[in-house]
Structure 1
Amino acid sequence: MESSPVTVTISALDAGHLTLPERLFVTDADSEKRTTVPSLSFLIQHCAPGKTRPTRMLFDLGVKRDIERYTPSQQAHIAERQPVIVSPDCRESLLSGSATITPKDIDLVMLSHVHWDHVGTPSDFSSATFLVGAGTLDLLKNGDGPLYPADLFNDDELPSDRTIELPPVSLSGVGSGRPQRTRPSDSALARIAPYLDADIWTWRPRFTFSSTLDLFGDGSVTVIDTPGHLHGHVNLLCQVANSKYVYLGGDCCHDPRILAGDKGIAMYPDGRGGLRSVHVDTGAAATSLDRIRDFVESCQRPVETEVVVAHDGAWRERNKHRFWPGKL
């Protein structure tokens, strides 16, 4: 496995908690079991040769601290996920670290997707440029079919003049129908020029993945197209040492037992006479999981890959020392 000469540092951040009914997420579930889990955020620092300071990026922002800033339909959904814990949120966790990084020091924010428990409070990061998967702005404005109506999203969630959508990936369906990619504004492209070169972003096969994008152009942070959960859903593969990767899986699954193969993706009535899962496309989500498993299994010693998904409460309990200012 090839490695990058440039590595990044990653610190976990608490960004709120929510409560998940097990029966909606895993097969063979206890129908009464509900588990309060984190919605994790991650601070990624990329220090390129010749730079005087690292580029600082957040991956996901978790839960909003002000529930009233969600739409009424979102709030109705959130009522089914109680208890929801909003403190500490991403901003509070960043400021509570002993190091001196403030929200204004964040250069980039990448969202794995725009469900309510990942969008956080974007206005906290007034200096940041936002990076999202293709079709995300269309999704926020128009929704995507009866199971994902527009009122489940805030159409003004992200600042239009500071948001850049990644190029479309035909294999994930973007470009063959809604949601369609919104072309970035010139001002947004100019904002990221000191950190990234969007002109050279191209999706290419790498490792076991069919579509990957080299974010910084040096192999240190690879965006992985992971279709299935929601349009525009992406993961990150980060190299943190010569022989270690961290795979940030977002909502590729909501329970690590699914990734391990001990449980399957739960199906439940969709209210329209059919079945659905928590994913917009269950088959595509399962394929994405297969590719992640294949990647992890293909890693040979001394290479190590650690997979962290957004709602893994057991990982959080085991790794409190790796939260900011600690490192993964």
Structure 2
Amino acid sequence: MKNLLLSVAALVLLVACGQPAEQAQESPKIQFYAMDCGHTTFQDVGMFADDGSMNGQPRELIVPCYLIRHPGGDLIWDTGLPEAIADLPGGLTPANFPAHFEVPVKLTAQLAQLNMTPADVEFLSFSHMHSDHTGNGNLFAASTWIVDTDERTRMFDAEHRSDPQDFNNYNLLENARTQLIEGDDDHDVFGDGTVTIIQAPGHTPGHAVLLVRLPNAGPVLLTGDMYHLSESRERRLVPTFNTDRAQTVASQAEVERIASETHARVVRQHVMEDFTSLPAFPAALN
């Protein structure tokens, strides 16, 4: 009788907590952090629309980094502008690029708020190779780098080796532990469907987006440079400097299909309003 009463009490407790009695395991505890890894100010964002519709318009773009903490390890998605810019009074205005860069807080300082260092991060992946996404890549040379084969090839070709200012932000990854994503297949980072790298080429040869399925907040889709501006998604704008326009248009359609099917929260990574709608670091979305 005593054992029966204990069993009944346990069942009542499970029901009171809103958990089914037959549930043997809890959902993976995933934490999603959005970090401010820089700001880019343009006087003219015309380059982000090859139809000329954005010519002459100024805009400030956010440069984010994302940390996904999973029971199977930590993944950092995009590493932002080089954190050395934080040490430059007034930021940086490159001679060969029409924008001004600032880094309010170093990426390493933000990780420290979570009692982490780059060496604690098991997995690294970029949406693509551009310097505002790979600016701190070498900090994670001890991580396992997950990368599309075409993108890696482009990153280490002769043209990009000849540009030390950008190449030296990620050159140490050439000898890092690497998981190559072959062909057009998605990559399930932890093998449980919660964090998936999805191929979306066109901006660069191996551009990708990231789908994170959070147990409470639901799916979140990080779109890399699929949409730079707040207008880009609705108008399906294509930047003038994309490597393949037709691929870009096809990838935009695929991203929208995924967003519709999963009912995901779509984050246009450089759009300030999307970034500020996420919990302010060090708070997490989960």
TM-score, length basis structure 2: 0.76
Change (3 A) 1:102 1:142: closer
**Match of 1:290?**
253
The alpha carbon displacement at 1:290 in A equals 0.8
**Match of 2:53?**
29
The alpha carbon displacement at 1:143 in A equals 5.3
Q: Which has the larger radius of gyration?
A: 2
Instruction: Indicate conservation of the 8 Å contact 1:141/1:150, yes or no.
Output: no
Match of 2:76 among 38, 44, 58: 58
**Match of 1:129?**
144
Matched residue SS, 1:159: helix
**In structure 2, distance between residues paired with 1:10 and 1:77:** 35
**In structure 1, distance between residues paired with 2:193 and 2:54:** 42
Matched residue SS, 1:91: helix
**Match of 2:281?**
323
**Match of 1:154?**
167
**In structure 2, distance between residues paired with 1:157 and 1:221:** 26
**Match of 1:228?**
202
Match of 1:106 among 118, 121, 130: 121
Superposed, 1:40-189 pairs within 5 Å as: 40-48=64-72, 55-66=73-84, 75-78=94-97, 80-82=98-100, 84-95=101-112, 97=113, 99-125=114-140, 127-142=142-157, 150-151=162-163, 153-154=166-167, 157-169=171-183
The alpha carbon displacement at 1:42 in A equals 0.3
**Match of 1:187?**
none
Structure 1 counterpart of 2:61, which letter? V
Superposed, 1:303-322 pairs within 5 Å as: 304-319=263-278, 321-322=279-280
Matched residue SS, 1:135: helix
The alpha carbon displacement at 1:218 in A equals 1.1
**Match of 1:175?**
none
**Match of 1:191?**
none
Moved more, 132-141 or 14-23: 132-141
* RMSD (Å), alpha carbons: 2.8
Structure 2 counterpart of 1:238, which letter? V
1:141-162 CA-to-partner distances (Å, cap 9, x unmatched) read 3257xxx895385176233331
What is the aligned residue count?
250
**Match of 1:19?**
41
**In structure 2, distance between residues paired with 1:161 and 1:265:** 34
**In structure 1, distance between residues paired with 2:48 and 2:197:** 25
Structure 1 counterpart of 2:56, which letter? E
**In structure 2, distance between residues paired with 1:242 and 1:324:** 18
**In structure 1, distance between residues paired with 2:102 and 2:217:** 36
**In structure 2, distance between residues paired with 1:90 and 1:167:** 26
Gaps of 5+ in 2: 1-26, 86-92
Instruction: Indicate conservation of the 8 Å contact 2:118/2:139, yes or no.
Output: yes
Superposed, 1:205-220 pairs within 5 Å as: 212-220=186-194
Matched residue SS, 2:149: coil
**Match of 1:208?**
none
Structure 1 counterpart of 2:149, which letter? A
Matched residue SS, 1:217: coil
Change (3 A) 1:231 1:89: farther
The alpha carbon displacement at 1:313 in A equals 1.1
Query: Identity of paired residues, percent?
Result: 23
Structure 2 counterpart of 1:283, which letter? A
Instruction: Indicate conservation of the 8 Å contact 2:63/2:81, yes or no.
Output: yes
Structure 2 counterpart of 1:213, which letter? H
Change (3 A) 1:149 1:23: farther
1:258-305 CA-to-partner distances (Å, cap 9, x unmatched) read 22x235325xxxxxxxxxx23111111111111111222234xxxx41
